[in-house]
Amino acid sequence: MSGNGGSLLQPVITDKAPTPGAQYTQALSLQLSGAVKLVFISGQGPVDSDSQPVGVGDIDAQVRQTFANIQALLDAAGGGLEHLAEMTIYLRDINDRPAVTKVRQEVLARPYPTATMVEIKDFASPDWMIEISGLAVLPV
């Protein structure tokens, strides 16, 4: 089935984050009654807007690029990282947690989003060390 078929979900698309290479959307927004919009962010990895890997072997650079991609999507939706309510962080090596925590402290503000961090075996690209998906709550 193609098209949005009257769906309440609206795509959030920007050329400042990687273009999906499969059947998924960078992010989707859902306007709720009142003055709130939810933005569901697909897993973002350490690639630039041309879908080229960034910081191969450098967890700090990869975390920063991943958050930059999330920021670009939230910008396109009319918000920012301060609207991030929940995120799931996937790591190839859980021992990279301190590097992730360091960058999170720099780019996120209180109240911090809820978070889950898990170690996984593989990513879509062997160059990736991290991927983050999330949910943001934006004022309309």
- Tell me, what CATH number does 58's domain have? 3.30.1330.40
Mean pLDDT of 87-103: 97
Q: Is residue 99 pLDDT above 80, yes or no?
A: yes
Q: Of 40 and 22, which is predicted with more confidence?
A: 40
Q: Of 95 and 16, which is predicted with more confidence?
A: 95
Evaluate whether residue 101 is within a structural domain: yes
Evaluate whether residue 82 is within a structural domain: yes
Evaluate whether residue 95 is within a structural domain: yes
- Domain count along the chain: 1
**Distance from C-alpha of 33 to C-alpha of 77, rounded to nearest angstrom:** 17
Residue 2 has a pLDDT of 46
Evaluate whether residue 3 is within a structural domain: no
First to last CA, the chain: 30
Evaluate whether residue 135 is within a structural domain: yes
Distances (CA, A) of 124 to 22, 67, 91, 120, 140: 11, 18, 12, 11, 34
Q: Is residue 86 pLDDT above 50, yes or no?
A: yes
User: Under DSSP, is residue 138 helix (H, G, I), strand (E, B) or coil?
Assistant: strand
Evaluate whether residue 2 is within a structural domain: no
Q: By percentage, how much of the chain surpasses pLDDT 70?
A: 95
Q: Of 18 and 3, which is predicted with more confidence?
A: 18
The residue segments making up the domain with residue 109 are 9-139
- Enter the tokens of residue 27: 């992010």
Evaluate whether residue 43 is within a structural domain: yes
Evaluate whether residue 1 is within a structural domain: no
Q: Of 105 and 30, which is predicted with more confidence?
A: 105
Residue 8 has a pLDDT of 81
